[in-house]
Structure 1
Amino acid sequence: MPSLRNALGKPALLSLALAVVLIAPDAVAQKKRAARAPAVTPECSDFYSATNADWLKAHPAIASGASVSVLGELRERTLQQQRDLLDAAMRAPQGNVQKLLGDFWASGLDEAAVEADGANPIAPLLGRINAIKRAKDVAPAIAALHQVGIPVVFNFSPDVDLQHLDRHIGYFMQGGLGLSDPAYYTSADAEARDLLGRYRGYVKQILALTGTAQDKLDAESQLVIDLETRLAQVSKPLADLRSPFANYAPVATKDLGKQYRNLQLDAFLKAQGVSDDTVSMADPALFKQADSLIAGLKPEQWKAYLRWRVGDAMAPYLARPFRDAEFEFRGRVLRGQTAPAPRWQQVLDAINLAAGPMLGREYAARFVPEEHKRRAEQIAQQTRDALGRGIERNAWMSATAKAEAKAKLEKLKIEVSTPRRDLDYSVQPMGRGSFGGNMLIASTWRHREEMKRIGKGNADRRWDVLPQQPALAYDIAQNRLIVTAAVLQNEVFDARQPAAVQYGSFGALVGHELSRGFDNKGRMVDAKGELRDWWTGEDMRAWETLGARVAAQYDAYAYPELGPVKVNGKLTQDQNMADLSGVELAWEAFATADPQAAATGRQDFYKAWARLWAQRLSKTDAAQRVSTDSHAPGQWRANGPLVNLPAFAEAFSCKPGQPMQLKETDQVKLWR
């Protein structure tokens, strides 16, 4: 982004020269008036650039490739922290969980051992599949693979019961395909046909590695494609599944065994450890098809399909022939990657996938001191209190909506660092000899713990984000704020910094998330945790009016690296309103906690907010984000809320009409 000086320097100098010529007789008076005219300080011109000048200088413009940002650097450091933790657990584990993790890590880093292990880790699974003789043997094999975290034929996982948000139920959903979109199997489009051809080549490679004889590869790969195509033909288009309600259709579990005798879904649930009385099955046609295919297809076709699914799912964790085949198709063709990630990162990704909560428990214990957690909880509580005052005094919300909002806020929970409910860490011991074997052990444990979420009173059993992943999130179903251990790092929460900095960065992000429980999305869940729109039509119209004003504000901002292209105010509207809410609420919390804060402290609050968003975008990345990213670029995430805040203008002596301060009549107020 060119600076204001660079962008306007030449025209401004030309205009000044002409003015001097035209008014030369009154030059002395002009100089006196100019001397009295207040200059626009850098802070009142572009607060983001002024605050982040050193960071931007240290991170010059990116010609191509990925972008860099302060929060991106935070994510990179948390990966290094996880790596350091696992290295220490490998050398000198402290407790059983670290012993499990250390052995898992060591087995993945030992590439020679992985190569020597070959396909041994999946040999028991392949043996179970190869033992299938009759149709009735297929369903137990399907259930056994789900138990180790390899979903075949369909997906089954816990999620919130949309009629009773305080519980989770099991969702039977479409799945079991090697390609993500069912349309790839049925489309006549040339590109889709080409992809399906490449996919079949990958299927042949995996089948060869899992035991198919060379002279049978063509026939068996065709059997796999045929079975998956039959499933795809009765699967819903992905666009039809965007709404959570599209997958929600509660049915009684007691009837499933009779309705789907070949799939043996009653026995399937028992094998997963699920005894609940209700599951969701929104696509019975798919399960009827799968049920008929078990009886209608020869066991040899099922054996080829199941061996393929096992080989494909486990390929990243096995010897190089598996990994190379998987990367060439899934990495290079589907994801557009040019090279695999470094080995340590591949192993870390695997551990987070299969044993992420284990690592999260140890991460929080090592990197988040108890006093930091308490301070973060205190700021979060104070920001919640500020929202309560904001609900009471805002001018756009009706009396009935305010009453419901206050009741909902009263019940809002705050969880910091790790989930309140811990997991059962009794896991089969992992050794250092088999990375693939450890992957299956950990995946089996993770699946077991996931299944425990199903049933009454279990909806808050865990988060949908890991403690070692930097995140603040509002969980709309559970009406709770989630603050992960990894986000309590220096860029967001530095316990050594003054309170003003903590409120301006961490507090503002907390306010951003808390506001989501009371905006146009949060209005869909009431104080009792029921799906109900508790806004009036008047509330909705008032919100839309405020949103249109915020969208118009951001529509005027130039998108970095894209010349005349502007920010899409409508696309980014919800996040921009949440940003404004966050700064409003955090400022209220800070001013209440320290009403006599010094001028430097008040400035530090806003500087901390702006420093969160330091960012350099490549042209390629910017071009992709402008039409897809619901967040504004960093410059405008920093500046956009501040132009609406008189307290910011007071802190830096900015005048209405200057770039960093809108006139009072143009300012948007949400909770102040």
Structure 2
Amino acid sequence: MPPLRNALSKPTLLAFALVAALGVTDAQAAKKKKKAPRAPTVSAECTDFYSSANAEWLKANPLPAGAGSLTALGQLLERSQQQQRQLLDAAMQAPQGNVQKLLGDFWASGLDEAAVEADGAKPIAPLLDRINGIKKSKDVPAAIAALHQIGIPVAFNFSPDVDLKALDRHIGYFSQGGLGLPDPAYYTRTDADTRELLGRYKNYVKQILALTGTKPEKLDAEANAVIDLETRIARVSKPFQELSNPLSNYLPVATKDLGKQYRNLQLDAFLKAQSVNDDTVSMVNPALFAELNTLVGNLKPDQWKIYLRWQVGDAMAPYLAKPYREANFEFRGRVLKGETAPAPRWQQVLNAINTAAGPMLGREYAGRYLPSSSKSKAESIAQNVREALARGIERNAWMSASAKAEAKSKIDKLKIEIGTPRRDLDYSVQPMGRGSFGSNILIASTWRHREEMKRIGKGNADRRWDVLPQQPALAYDLAQNRLIVTAAVLQAPVLDVNRGDSALYGSYGALVGHELNRGFDIRGRMIDANGELRDWWTPADVTAWSGIGSRVAAQYNGYPYPASSNAKVNGTLTQDENLADLAGVELAWDAFTNAQLAPNLGAKQTLFRSWSELWAQQISTAEAAQRIATDVHAPGQWRSNGPLTNQPAFGESFSCKAGQPMRRSDAEQIKLWR
């Protein structure tokens, strides 16, 4: 979700006084000095509330050498990882129940590096034997389907997602994939940098092929065979920018026709292998699948065997012996991501468990780290913020009557899920044991793929979340009209039940408001109260929202970017998040003041401090330079201060006067739901 200059400082006021004095004589100046009152001092809270509220944190948390940034919410993420580590340690030593036994064995097998080295490449030997057993072209599709079953997608991707014509269900999406490089353009661009990257990629392919059985004299030819097949796939893959719009990915086709249309690729048999029995799938890029259908028929089986061996070795490399891991890190970590060293072993294993068995760990995490008191408090505050939004919809002056009616119906139907998903998974997983980390990865990923496939079909759209309970997150699920609050986010600085309600509303309540706003903003308007894809705003609503957004963008355009000498925040890039922040603070204040009969001044001030403390941040000059152009979030100082300058209640709580940095004039203030 992821400072420090005053917009108006004492030197500025003193300079103004000196300039004014230049036009009078010394005697007059002396006379004036005796009579003129001192310029009033602007309090720290009214000058730069962020620096005042976070002074202790900023002093106690200097940016570590070599780090790009450090944030209060980032520390929450680190804490959640340490909690997961402690849970897994306990499950390894004294498991409570079958799921903990599975997780404890999984964890132990990953931490035992000597056993991982002794295991070598044994975990993938049965997969390689299956691939090497391919004799004819007609054997290739079955091998592709079998690899998908164990969570290794090859040639293409297949996964569940919302049916855009019926948002209460998921369908299967056949989408592009099958490439070892992250962008299809890498295979076809001719500039020097891309050619160099492709050369380094070829070396990595050769390393993995050697480890999976290719003889030295054949390495060049087989690596070329892999890259040739991937280049053929890349040439018919859509550019990433064309896939950003969900509507462009929705091309429903009847499953009954797949066998005839893609006879060589055998997509009908593929669906049966994944235990999918549905009448419709989405074919995101028909041209790609037509080409794959042709390639299965035209390429020699040996080329497919080489490609599939490479895909298995690459996918499993992080979980196998050191030669695999080192080759993988050198290319995927150092070359592609710019990482200087691998993560500690415990963190690598934790990431692997979250990838392959994240929902299993999430269930146990919530049981251990989410007290019932935190959950009930989170539910109560979320409901109050929801009611505040209902009031805001009723009273706002920019929304049309018809849009208000639809919005009120939509918020009445909004669901709130806190801690873990309401609908649990099937945890019937075969025993994992402690002998083979790589084999456990395959067992767990096979289970998770099975559970993913169960999402496809009517009535399954809300079956699970797209975030894990052990990952700190608040999210609004647009398709399901539900607020998702994970177990991991319900701790300091977001929700600390040891603090008073005012602090909880200022942090957690404002974040809830930030997310609920998404159901009723420029994107939320595309799905109505019945869960149908329909624009329920009038043209006047769109114009009004755009006008508010332009004003917010203009405000943020004037803010200096911390750790940068002269750059400003990009108000247009950050506009949507800034609007959501504004909504969050408005709704938190309304919810708190309606829940409390007569909050005192200290409680009011605490609410705003709690909001500001969420955004404590240290950032390097290099990191700031990168984020200015790419980050859709404003830096922490302005996530704190920007919304507050538009809140009359903030100015009143701290006695800030209009025109001071932290209180805009009434005419300048922007509002959404107050």
Structure 2 match to 1:34: 37
- 1:201 aligned onto 2:220: no
Shift of 1:39: 2.4
| Partners of 1:312 and 1:326 within 8 A in 2 | yes
**Which of 390, 393, 409 is equivalent to 1:391?**
393
Give the drift of 1:29: 5.8
Q: Distance in 1 between matches of 2:466 and 2:200?
A: 34
d(CA) in 2 for partners of 1:509 and 1:200? 46
What does residue 272 of structure 2 align with? 270
Summarize the alignment of residues 472-551 of structure 1 with structure 2, pairs less than 5 Å apart: 472-551=474-553
Alignment match, 2:96:
94
Match of residue 251 from structure 2: 249
**Superposition pairs for residues 142-181 of structure 1, below 5 Å?**
142-181=144-183
The one-character-per-residue Cα deviations of 1:5-24 (angstroms, maximum 9, x if unpaired) are 9x956665565556667465
- Aligned partner of 2:440 in structure 1 is 438
1:610 to 609, 612, 619: 612
1:328 to 314, 327, 330: 330
Distance of 2:396 and 2:304 partners within structure 1: 62
Q: CA deviation at 1:500?
A: 0.3
Q: Is the 8 A contact 1:63 1:619 kept in 2?
A: no
- Which residue type is aligned with residue 665 of structure 1? A
Call closer, same or farther: CA 1:291–1:33 in 2, change over 3 Å: same
Q: Does 1:633 align with 2:631?
A: no
Give the letter aligned to residue 118 of structure 2.
Answer: A
SS in 1 for 2:175: strand
* Whole-Å separation in 1 of the counterparts to 2:219 and 2:4: 58
Out of 22-31 and 547-556, give the one that drifted further: 22-31
Contact preservation (8 Å) 1:253, 1:277: yes
Quote the Cα distance in structure 1 between the aligned partners of 2:226 and 2:549. Answer: 50
Cα pair distance change 1:28/1:383, threshold 3 Å: farther
1:460 equivalent in structure 2? 462
Q: Hey, what does 1:84 align to over in structure 2?
A: 86
Deviation string for 1:217-242 (max 9, x for gaps)? 12211111111111112111122111
Other-structure match for 1:66: 68
TM-score scaled to structure 1, two decimals? 0.97
Q: 1:489-512 CA deviation, whole Å, 9 max, x = no partner?
A: 111000110000000000000000
| d(CA) in 2 for partners of 1:316, 1:646 | 54
Number of matched pairs: 670
AA partner of residue 408 (structure 1):
K
For 2:236, the equivalent position in structure 1 comes to: 234
Of 106-115 and 261-270, more deviation after overlay is shown by 261-270
For the residue of structure 2 that corresponds to 1:426, the secondary structure is coil
Cα distance in 2 for partners of 1:602, 1:13 equals 33
Tell me the alpha carbon deviations over residues 589-623 of structure 1, each in whole angstroms, 9 at most, x when there is no partner: 00001030111111111110011111111001100
Superposed CA deviations along residues 7-50 of structure 1, whole A, max 9, x for unmatched, are 95666556555666746546566555425x54211111111111
**Paired residue secondary structure (1:626):** helix
The CA deviation at 1:295 is 1.7
User: Matched residues in 1 for 2:139 and 2:516: separation?
Assistant: 51
| Among candidates 423, 427, 430, match of residue 429 of structure 2 | 427
Question: Which residue matches 1:132?
Answer: 134
Shift of 1:65: 3.2
* CA-to-aligned-CA distance 1:101-140 (integer Å, 9 cap, x gap): 1100000000000000000000110111111111111111
Q: Give the direction of change, closer, same or farther, for the CA distance of 1:10–1:451 in structure 2 (3 Å limit).
A: same
Letter in 1 for 2:215: A
- Asked if the contact 1:64–1:620 (Cα under 8 Å) also holds between the matched residues in 2, the reply is no
Task: Call closer, same or farther: CA 1:276–1:579 in 2, change over 3 Å.
Answer: same
The CA deviation at 1:4 is 3.6
Residue 183 of structure 1 corresponds to 185
Q: Of 333, 339, 342, which residue of structure 2 is paired with 1:340? A: 342
Distance in 1, matches of 2:405 and 2:4, equals: 48
Task: Report the CA distance shift for 1:457/1:14 in structure 2 as closer, same or farther (over 3 A).
Answer: closer
Change beyond 3 A, Cα 1:343–1:96: same
User: What is the deviation of 1:215?
Assistant: 1.8
The answer to whether structure 1 residue 221 and structure 2 residue 243 are counterparts is no
- Deviations along 1:357-388, one digit per CA (max 9) or x if unpaired, are 01111111111011211110110000000000
Query: What residue number does 1:359 align with?
Result: 361
CA distance in 1, matches of 2:589, 2:63: 32
1:233-275 alpha-carbon deviations (Å, 9 max, x no partner): 2111122111112221000111111211221111110110100
Q: Match of 1:416, SS?
A: strand
Contact map agreement 1:474 1:481 (CA 8 A) in 2: yes
Indicate if the aligned counterparts of 2:63 and 2:70 stay in contact, CA closer than 8 A.
no
In 2, Cα distance between equivalents of 1:9 and 1:397: 42
Judge conservation of contact 1:62–1:617 (CA < 8 Å) in 2.
Answer: no
Q: Is residue 71–residue 612 contact of structure 1 (8 Å, CA) maintained in 2?
A: yes
- 1:309 pairs, out of 308, 311, 321, with 311
For structure 2, list consecutive stretches of 5 or more residues without a partner in the other structure. none
More displaced 10-residue stretch of structure 1: 260-269 or 387-396:
260-269
- The answer to whether the Cα contact below 8 Å between 1:157 and 1:172 also exists between their aligned partners in 2 is yes
Structure 1, unaligned stretches of length 5 or more? Answer: none
User: Partner amino acid for 1:463?
Assistant: W
Q: Residues 255 and 11 of structure 1: is their aligned pair in 2 closer, same or farther, counting only changes over 3 Å?
A: closer
Answer yes or no: is the 8 Å Cα contact 2:176–2:284 preserved in 1.
Answer: no
Q: 1:30 to 1:399 in 2, by over 3 A?
A: farther
Deviation per residue, 1:287-323 (Å, 9 max, x gap): 1111121121111111111110000000000000000
Query: 1:515 deviation in Å?
Result: 0.5
1:648 aligns with one of 647, 650, 653 = 650
Does the Cα contact within 8 Å between 1:261 and 1:291 map onto a contact in 2? yes
